[in-house]
Structures are given as C-alpha cells and as structure tokens.
Chain A
C-alpha cells in the first residue's frame, strides 16, 4: 500500500485520540472503582444489576420495618409483663378481701389499693409510643381508656396495625385494648372496678366471685404474652433472613458493578504506556523529512 503524508498524519491523530480515550476511561474506572456508571457501560449485566439494587433497597426498607415492629412488640411485652404482676397482687387482695376475718376499715384500705392498681392499669392501657397509643386498635391518636365517673370506657376499636416484614409477609403487631383490658361491659378493668366497689361495700360474696374472674383474665394476659412472644420470634427470624439477604445482595452488586482494583491499575498502566508510545512515535515521525537529507 502506498502511504502519503496525510495518511501518516491522520493515523497519528487517530491513534493518539484512541489512546487518550482509553486512558481517560481507565482513569475514570480506577478513580471511581466502578465498572458500570451508566446502563450502556454493560447492557447485558444492567438488568441483573438493577434487579439486585431494587431488591436491596426494598430489603433494607423491610428490615427497617421489622426493626420498628420489634420495638412495638417489645413495648407491648413489657406492659403485659407489668399487667401480669399487678394481676397477681389483685388476686392476693381479692383472696384477703373475701376472708370473713377482715373488718370494714381493712376492706376500705384494700379498696384504696385496688383503686390505685386500677389507675395504674388504665395508665398502662393508655401507653403511647411516639404518639401512637398501642392498645387503641387503629384509633391510635387518643388514649383508648377514659374514666367517666366510676365507669371506664373503651374508646378504641379492634383495628389492626400491620407491618410488612418480608416480601409476602404482613403481620398484625398490635393487640387491641378490648382483647386485653376489656370494655365497660366486661373484662379486666371492669372486674377491677367492680372489685373496688364490692370491697368498699363489704360485699364479700361478690369479692369471692372476683377471684375466679381474675384467674380468667390472667389466662387472657398469658395468652396475649405468648402471642406477642411468638410474633417477636417471627419478626426476629425475618430480620435475620433479611440481613443475610442484604449482605448477599451487596456482594452480588459489588461483584457486577465494581472493578477489581488490581486489574484497574493494570489497565491504567497499559493505557498510560500506549499513550506515551504513540506520543513518542508522533515526535519521531513528524521530525523526519527528506528535506533534511536532501540538503
């Protein structure tokens, strides 16, 4: 093939441009550590990569929700624990109060203690976390139990608060108050209110009846604690699975997206050398002319 001046010049220009382009690419990859910045950097892998990235974000969100559910359940558990303790004391009081050896003054003192326990129970039933009353069903903005005269009225509902803790796993994390503390018509608080009244009135027969009612309520609270306990376990295992998934997804992503640093450094060195070589060639070739030799 015949070679003319313009061909030499064009080739030099093109090869310098090519080398500089490769050098710039190598610098970009080395400095960011990422092989894929835009979808076109690897259209075959981008689908998979985006899939992993989307899954990662979703899993992180669900892990956050699960963590949040755990806090909610732990609070519920703590309160149920306290309720159980109070129930124990209530039963002792009921047993004492049912004894014929007590006089009215003793019973009035017991009634006073029951009153305080009742208030404590109402306070516990009205617990709120971050402005959310956890025993109110879904009517969470107001305290579910309100004392109106000697009546204790449940203002909550039996709605469910849900948490998504897995791709297809949504659980109810709240116990509506009526299931634990009961309503005006019946249940723990109603029994306690009645007990206080009967103690004050010296109504020993009715106080005796309260013992078995309290036993029933104890069962209810125990069942509720068991339910919360098993939910906690479920959320914990979901959280563990999620954490594992997150770690794996991160690994997949870095495998696809990130450039091996050693390799990137090698490529950079290669590109650098190639560029220097073509600069050298240009300097050599452009300096030579027959004019110098013809004299």
Chain B
C-alpha cells in the first residue's frame, strides 16, 4: 500500500462526509416543507482490491419513506375529506332549517295555528283576520327562505364540485408528468427522492379529493385509480368533468365512463343527495299545507258570504303565497262552515286541527336534519382524529428532526475534520520522504 493510496482513502472520506453534510443541510432546509421526507446518505466500506482496506463509498442517497403508512394515511384522508367537506355546508343548512327558536319554521307554523285559534275566538273581528294574514305571510316567507337557501346550497355544492374537479385534473396531469420524469431520472441512475416527494404530495391531495387506489410500475411510475376506474397510467391521464341531469350530477371521464369517487368529491355528491332530499321534504310539506288548508278553507264562508276562496296560492314551498284577494279583503277569510254566520268558528277550528299532521311532519324533519348533522359532525371529528394519528406516525418516520440533524451535523463535521487530519498527516509523511531525496 502506497502513501498515495492512503491519501486516496481520505479523499473518498472527505467526499463522503461532504455529501453527508449536504444531505443534512438539505434536511434542515426542508424541516418545515410539507410532504418532504428526510433523506439519508448510505455509506459503505469500499470493497478492497487486495487485502488492504480502501476507505468509504457513497452508496447513494435514499429518502426515508414508509409506503404502508402512505397507503393507510391516504385511506384515512379520503374519509376525512368525505366528511369534512359536508360538515361546513351542513352546519349552515341546520342553522336555517333546524332552528327551533323565535322566527324558526316551527315557531312560525305554530303562530299560524295560534292565529287561527285567535280567529276562532273572535271570528267577527277584522283585527284577528289581519293578524292571521300577517302570521301566514311570515310563514310563507320562511318556507320560501328555506326553499331558496336549499336551492342556493345545491348551486354552491355544484360550484365546489367544479372547483375540486379542476384541481383534481391539475393533479392528475402532474402525476402523469412526474411519472415520466421519475422514470427518466431513475433510468439514468439519478436521485428521484425529491421528485417522488412531489408526486407523493400530489397523491395525498388526490386521495383527499377523490380517494384513490394505486400501484407502482417497475420503472417507478405509479398507476392510479378512483372508484375502480383507471385515471393515470404512466404518462397518460384521463381528465374528469361534471355531467348534470335535471335533478342529479355525475362525474365522468373524458371517455364518458362514470366515476364514483370517495373523498371530498364523493362527500359532495353524498351531501348533494342529502340536501336534495331535504328540499324535497320542505316542498312536500309546503304543497301539503297549501292543499290541506285550501281544501278546508274553500269549503267555508267568509264574513261577506263568499265561498270557494283558496287561502294559499302556489304549488309548494318555492312559490307559496297568501291569496292576494284575502290580503285586500280580510273579510273573505272563511272561519264559518255556514253562510251568514259571522260568529260560526267551526271551520277555523277544523283548520286548527290540521296542526297535528304538520307538527309531526316538521318535528320529524327537524329530527332528521339533526341526526344528519350530528352524524356528519361525528364522522368528521372521528375521521380527522384517525387521519391525524396516522399522519403523525408517518411524519414521525419520514419527517425531519432538527436535533437528529444537528447531531449529524456535528458528527460529520468532526469526521470531516478527522479525515482532513489524516490527509495532513499523509502529506507530512510524503514531505518527509521527499526531503530525504
């Protein structure tokens, strides 16, 4: 073994420690970068050509990543996305429908029946008629308010779907592009860690958006599916769009294949179904109110002997109004079952008896809204906790620990200094040998 050979050992060592310091620096630099996985220099002793040792080699730079934790996290984040996206919207829906305080649907409906009661107490009086019309108008306004709130909610759900699909398509394209890049760098033997981190971040976000299944190809590319439909294969991807029918929406690929995603997109479609159902319920209640009250009211007689007058106009909660003839002339309100009987209140009392039906319908609507909202809330909390736990396991494994990196920094710094010392000693020896000449 020559002195020059020994000098070669310190050269390799200096090189290795410099690389290690670079990686440590890279790790520290990315301590707060979301989705970054820490990297490690793999060092191994050089394979000697003869019996003498030959120093250290840099095997490569690897990122520390647990693929199983990724898989579990992505399942969890899809579930979290599915419920979280519903929570915010449902909170608002509940506050509009589910309120039971002053000015709520329950309250105004009750006031409506109470006004009929009051009319029954004094059917001759104009003031109790005017009072009835006012409470009826407050009720119809509330029904229309709820109706239009739900219609607007459906509209904003569709907007959110469009927005999320736009982002999904960007990410699908990004994954396909990264697939190509990674395959190329890998083929050239380069370090794909950072590219992979970038693709993993995209896969995380896609999981949250639509819940994905995936598998790796040998060249490092990832194939991606959602709801059983392949969306990315190597460098190819299929973009998604929203297809609306009169009452429903569907997510289709560009080839027209329907995708049933989970995640936020799935959650939004689920939410859309729930809100539609509630809207249907409100419309049905509105329609029933119009039919049942009108049926009785038009069989009765007003103060002026008029009969056959409908109390409400419109078809359901979207267009319910108090008959404008009654507003113009409250005497047309029928409280009597017989003509020319201003004191007859039997019809008003029959209308009051309708309240049983509507009380229980509104009660079950409120209970339904409440249990839907509670379920969404519970699932959102639960799935969030699961996703957070898995994420902290994953982050713990892949994330950067500053303490660890700083210790590494000291260790490699010292090692670098030691290797330099070796080089200095060899240099000294060589000098001695040269001076001998």
Contacts and interface: CB of A to CB of B under 8 A. Distances in A.
B392 A10 contact: yes
Given A38-B99, A138-B338, A157-B341, A5 B377 contact: no
Given A5-B31, A5-B400, A131-B125, A43 B343 contact: no
A138 B342 contact: yes
B311 interface: no
The size class of the interface chain A forms with chain B is 35 or more
A58 interface: yes
Interface string B98-137: 1110000010001001100100111111000000000000
Nearest to A168: B353
B395 A294 contact: no
Interface in B359-415: 359, 363, 366-367, 369-374, 377, 388, 391-393, 395-403, 406-407, 410
A162 B395 contact: no
Interface in A159-199: 159-164, 170, 174
A217 B426 CA distance: 144
B402 A290 contact: yes
A216 B342 CA distance: 32
A203 B89 CA distance: 91
Nearest to A34: B101
Interface in B336-366: 336, 338, 340-346, 349, 352, 355, 359, 363, 366
A291 B28 CA distance: 12
Nearest to A21: B381
A214 to B, nearest CB: 29
A101 interface: no
A137 B406 contact: no
Interface residues of B, number: 59
B396 A4 contact: yes
Interface in A126-167: 130-133, 136-141, 157, 159-164
A162 B100 CA distance: 31
A54 B98 contact: no
Contacts of B2: none
A40 B367 contact: no
A109 interface: no
Given A47-B363, A50-B100, A289-B402, A136 B343 contact: yes
A4 B399 contact: yes
Nearest to B410: A294
Across the A-B interface, give the 8 residue pairs with the lowest CB-CB distance, nearest first. Answer: A39-B370, A140-B343, A4-B399, A138-B341, A40-B373, A138-B344, A138-B343, A43-B371
Interface of A: 1-7, 10-11, 14, 38-41, 43, 46-47, 50-51, 53-54, 57-58, 61, 64-65, 68, 130-133, 136-141, 157, 159-164, 170, 174, 289-291, 294
